[in-house]
Amino acid sequence: MTAPAQTPANQSLLGRLKDIAGHSHVLTSEAETYRFRHGFRFGAGKVLAVVQPGTLVELWRVAQACVDAGKIIIMQAANTGLTGGSTPDGNDYDREIVLISTLRLTGAHMIGGGKQVVCLPGATLYELENMLGAIGREPHSVIGSSCIGASVLGGISNNSGGALVQRGPAYTEMAVFGQVGEDGKLQLVNHLGIQLGNDPEAILNKLQAGTFSDADIDWDAGRGHDNNYITHVRDIDADTPARFNADPARWHEAAGCAGKLVVFAVRLDTFPAAKDPAVFYIGSNSTDELEDLRRHMLTGFEELPISGEYIHRDAFNIAEKYGKDTFAVIRKFGTKFLPKMFAMKSRFDIFAKQFGFLPENLSDRIMQALSVFIPNQLPSRMLEYRDKFEHHLMLKTSATLAGPMKAYLEQFFSKATGEFFECTPDEGSRAFLHRFAAAGAAVRYRAVHHREAEDIVALDVALRRNDRNWFEKLPKEIEDKIIVKLYYGHFLCHVMHQDYVIKKGYNAMAVEHSMLPGLDQRGARYPAEHNVGHLYQAPDVMLAHYRELDPCNCMNPGIGLATKKKNWVAESV
């Protein structure tokens, strides 16, 4: 059989794509496309090509060419997701795939004096954080994902969550996007609330250049974040989670589209940066004590804390050893260097795979071996609390809330069994950085302990707002298949990240599926903030949402374990 890329139709399409984006930005070889075709933690498959457009007009023309040729389009930004939602999933598609990478389409425009921003497809959270920092403002999310290069549009497309309890999941009602209708044609939709004209290419040129004035902007076009969340999360007696990915209340066109649209720009609110925030470090051996704290912090003050991050002692210990180099790099060079480090690591791993005698995950093993020469990074008071307490909570507040919060904690712990201390600025910075390092520690642990570890199960779970029994207790038959568990999360929102390193010889997917009925019985929802990707079964309401956005099923098919067939044919039989 003729290879797909050698058919006349495919050769014609590839020639057209090269004319649009340039020969060097249309990748077809296995080696060139590897890092785009493989997910950060999960997912892999074949593609006809990876295209890297350099302008919004090029993106529009590339998408049109692929739609006209009857190809599947997978939109990809930073490829930092955990559920494979922006990569192919196997090779059982009924059409060939063109993966469009938006990394070259960087940029953002501040409007309204920086109270809002218009972000292009490749704009990263780090880039936006730096831009807004110059005027004393912040984007929706400023922790964790911003350090590894996650994109703004990726967060919007997946309703990603975050640590900042006052802001809720990433959301907007204002965007410019391309949509393939039932007629199989790509149409440009401008719901950005900014007058940009009528011709698609003129709109996109003006959008990229930012050549629009305040007079062109409709300030009542829609919401730029979920401004109801702050009330929603305070409802601590509600029998449902505060936020989870399959919540229809937070879907609106680009928001929650999961790659079912070609998004060219989104318009978002920004937020005043807190000046001189305070950080309190809390330790306890009682989950009830921490739950009492959570309930009072959400209801007992006029102002909510900025964030409340939980980490279990086992995760603390794993992060201390297997996340130390990440911690040290950020402290020494700042977060700006981390995306470059991850890119170099990826390229090294791709190179090493060419030599069959080299071990898997060689870069992780080398980095871990070198990390033994890095001095201890954690403050002595944190280490003392690690030895005394199983459960740890880092609480960040504004300067105005710091006094009342400290008084409350003093009163609470005069009777409770746990303890707290107010961090110095350096201690506070290190505490939250250590919590971030925990997110990658399981991956490093698996790589180093490859003889004992089969794989990782990574869950992000939204617990009910009224759930007092928030700490997981697994049945023995599941527990016996696990080497180590890492529990950490956004405690005030009751969103927990739960990573499990599975013992050699056990199927990680089977272990994960055995955990899900227990979560269902607890009324939890999952995933909480990373989208269903190719790991989770999307509920019917979510699949209906995807069918409405993409009636031809030509954009990112198979998401939520749905059919990959054209026109959703498998679901209509």
Judge contact between 320 and 371, C-beta under 8 A.
Answer: no
Host H or E run for residue 455? strand 453-462
Q: Nearest Cα to 64, choosing from 26, 29, 98?
A: 98
For residue 45, which of 538, 534, 546, 542 has the smallest C-alpha distance?
A: 534
- Alpha-carbon gap, residue 25 to 436, rounded angstroms: 34
Tell me what pLDDT residue 335 has.
Answer: 66
CA–CA dist 453, 338 (Å, integer): 26
Helices 399-413, 287-299: axis angle to 10 degrees equals: 140
Any known ligand binding at 176?
A: no
Is 263 a known ligand-binding residue?
A: yes
Q: Is 369 annotated as a binding residue?
A: no
Sorted by where each starts, the structural domains of the chain and their CATH numbers stand as 8-104+546-568 (3.30.43.10), 108-272 (3.30.465.10), 278-450 (3.30.70.610)
Q: Does the annotation list 86 as a binding residue?
A: yes
DSSP state of 400: H
Alpha-carbon distances of 330 from 82, 339, 512, 551, rounded to whole Å? 22, 11, 32, 44
Determine whether the annotation assigns residue 112 to a binding site.
no
Return phi, psi of residue 149, to 5°. 90, 15
Q: Which residues, listed in sequence order, are joined to residue 312 by a DSSP beta bridge?
A: 391
Distance CA 394, CA 570 (A): 48
77 is in an annotated binding site: yes
Question: Is 335 annotated as ligand-binding?
Answer: no
Q: What is the mean pLDDT of each run of 10 residues along the chain (573 residues)?
A: 72 98 96 87 89 98 98 91 87 96 96 97 90 94 61 90 88 98 97 97 98 96 95 97 93 97 98 95 98 98 96 97 89 72 76 79 88 92 98 98 98 98 96 88 90 92 97 97 96 95 95 95 92 90 97 97 93 47
Residue 81 labeled ligand binder: yes
| Residue 429 in marked binding region | no
228 carries a ligand binding annotation: no
Q: Are 184 and 66 in contact (CB under 8 A)?
A: no
Q: Which two tokens stand for residue 267?
A: 């318009």
> Which residue in 490, 489, 491, 514 sits closest to 499, CA to CA?
489
